[in-house]
Structure 1
Amino acid sequence: RPAVVTRTLTELTGPRRGVVELPVRLMWSSDRTFDLADPDQLLWMYENVLRESTRADDLRTLIDGRTLRRVWPLLNLPRGVRQAWEARHRGLRAA
């Protein structure tokens, strides 16, 4: 399935702090909560959302564009997901 990518990074207005619980459609595990103050949990959440999302609305509400730019080089993503995002948002390649 092709990766879902938003048109702009500025439309990604998800939380920058706090605890986030992902919906079951994005993470099937019973432990779906992530403390964004913990760098490892933040990366794990972003990886799951970017990999599993089938709707741009999920991306808009769960991912923050500034944070995504900052952590982009650290994310462990499937090649297709990374390529789709970098093709649309060329600035991520340089991040």
Structure 2
Amino acid sequence: MTTHHAAPDPRWSHLTERLPSRLEDLTGPDSGNIQLPLRLAWSGLTSFDLSDERLLLGLYRIVITNGMRRDLTTYLNANLLIRHWPTLRIALGKPIRMPWELRFPQLMPQQEI
């Protein structure tokens, strides 16, 4: 059986344009405390302890939804993204998660056999 993925909606093409070409380009920290600039975290918490999963998920959601390419590569870590993607993909919603999963197939959920 062949799986077909829907073409990305043109309304969301700007999301695809800001993605790095490789997941390995996400070289952000994998531990420590991260301070986001107000242009990203304008509505609340700006400091995130990556050892706290809830804070890490909040940081990643903010950066993925509001960040530009440089923010993605600065604040996101590929290994942490892969590890936490199953939870993040639900929180992000389809319009935001689809460009990520189309660009980076390793983020796609594994099909049950």
TM-score, normalising length from structure 2? 0.77
SS of the residue corresponding to residue 34 of structure 1 reads: strand
Runs of 5+ consecutive residues of structure 2 not aligned to the other structure: 1-11
Query: Is 2:83 the partner of 1:70?
Result: yes
Aligned residues: 94
Superposed structure 1 runs of 4+ greater than 4 Å apart: none
- What is the CA-CA distance between 1:78 and the residue it aligns to? 2.9
User: How far apart are 1:32 and its partner, in Å?
Assistant: 0.5
Please say which of residues 25-34 and 14-23 is displaced more in the overlay. Answer: 25-34
Partner residue, 1:21: 35
Counterpart check, 1:48 vs 2:48: no
Residue matched to 1:89: 104
Which one has the bigger helix percentage?
Answer: 2
Asked which structure has the greater CA Rg, the reply is 2
User: How far apart are the structure 2 equivalents of 1:84 and 1:30?
Assistant: 27
RMSD: 1.3
**1:57 maps to 2:84:** no
> 1:6 offset after TM fit, Å?
1.3
Q: Which runs of 5+ in 1 are unaligned?
A: none
**Separation in structure 2 between the aligned mates of residue 78 and residue 27 of structure 1, nearest angstrom:** 19
Q: Which has the higher contact order (CA 8 A, sep 6+)?
A: 1
Instruction: Answer yes or no: is the 8 Å Cα contact 1:51–1:78 preserved in 2.
Output: no
